Amino acid sequence: MARGVEHPELGDKPVDPQTALGRPELANGAGDEDDGVNAAFEASGGELARPVAQPPAVRESLAVRLIGFLRGSWRELQRVQWPDRRQVFQATGVVIGFVIVAGVFLGLADLGSSRLVNLLLK
């Protein structure tokens, strides 16, 4: 992991990646020392330890999860930048224009292909 990564919001001042990730205890090389995990890994011949069985997570009730989902959805809707009237009319005009152009193209393609088929069948 590179040290001294420049952060766009802080300008030229280098920021430690661990601090930027919210792990100040690992900033500036702290935590790089052998904390016993590496020694245990090397002592075991480089084999990975078996995962420790975790107790099953307590699952919240359906009503609690539904309320949490609705609250999160409402928070997201508050963050949406809704278009104003001018933007809606402009986008609608673009869509209608595209539909007209596509309709003319498909109509001409249908007319040409139907005449070609009638010519081949005669």
H or E stretch covering 14? strand 14-15
Q: What is the reported pTM?
A: 0.40
Residue 108 has pLDDT above 90, yes or no: yes
What ranges do the domains of the chain cover?
1-50
CB 16 within 8 A of CB 27: yes
Write out pLDDT tens, residues 33-77.
555 556 655 666 666 667 777 777 778 888 999 999 999 999 999
Task: Tokens for 81, please give them.
Answer: 């930048």
